[in-house]
Amino acid sequence: MASLENYLRLLENPEALGKKEKELLKEIEPIIHELLDELKVNGKIETVFVPAKKKHMENIMNNVYQLEKNGNLLTDILKPSESSQDFLAVSSKIGFDKSKLTNLYIQLLVLSCVLYTEVFKSFLLYHLREVNPKVSNFPSTMEKAAPKAWKKLQPYVDNKFRNSLAHGTWALENKQVVLFEDAELIPYDKLNLAEFIIKMKKQNLLYTCLEKVVIEKTKAAFFT
């Protein structure tokens, strides 16, 4: 698929992709700082972390790490190289060709985006107290707990995109990822694979940025 090949070529130039990610991080990071600061002022920041729950949270975060590693492995296999050709030569014996590998890669990306998005919510809620812990109520919880900062962050949280992926209302059609809002199956967006992957990575950056900010604030004794 040409658009996927274009994206893989972009990966070979990390400066080009890295620049876009850095620009977005530069936008999001101060808002997440502001969000946590507002939550603290409103008495919503947790200061006592039960060891068992902390371990559970670490294991949930490890899911993201492991999925990212697997995604990187598939990316390496999809890139034209001697090792990828060797892999395809062996795997083709059981019917695993490049087309199936590409589909698996896209499916993994869908899972990745949903996982990153939901762990972003869970990781933030884990650090809060006296709020509704249900991830399904995350938007309304944030609106009540930190209305000013949440209003700034909300545009970066693409729930419509997340819902299409999580609810399975997306399809590969004519080398595009077609997104539907519900079972009426009226497309609201059509993305080539490179556009889809960039859109997904933007959502994934929310968790990446939150983790970075939490580490910084933990070192500064913010959660004590």
In a domain, 134, yes or no: yes
Task: Provide the domain count of the chain.
Answer: 1
Domain ranges, residue 56: 2-219
Instruction: Work out the burial of residue 43: count CB atoms within 10 Å of its CB; fewer than 13 is exposed, 13-18 middle, 19 or more buried.
Output: exposed
Q: What is the pLDDT of residues 68-106, one digit of tens each?
A: 898 888 877 777 777 777 877 888 888 888 778 878 888
In a domain, 34, yes or no: yes
CB 136 within 8 A of CB 21: no
Supply the pTM of this predicted model: 0.87
Token pair listed for 18: 């890295």
pLDDT grade for 4, boundaries at 50, 70 and 90: low
CB 60 within 8 A of CB 70: no
In a domain, 224, yes or no: no
Give the other-Cβ count within 10 Å of 200's Cβ: 24
For residue 190, the surrounding DSSP H or E stretch is: strand 187-192
In a domain, 164, yes or no: yes
The end-to-end CA distance of the chain, in Å, is 51
Note the pLDDT of residue 25: 87
Q: What is the pLDDT of residues 135-157, one digit of tens each?
A: 999 999 999 999 999 999 999 99
In a domain, 99, yes or no: yes
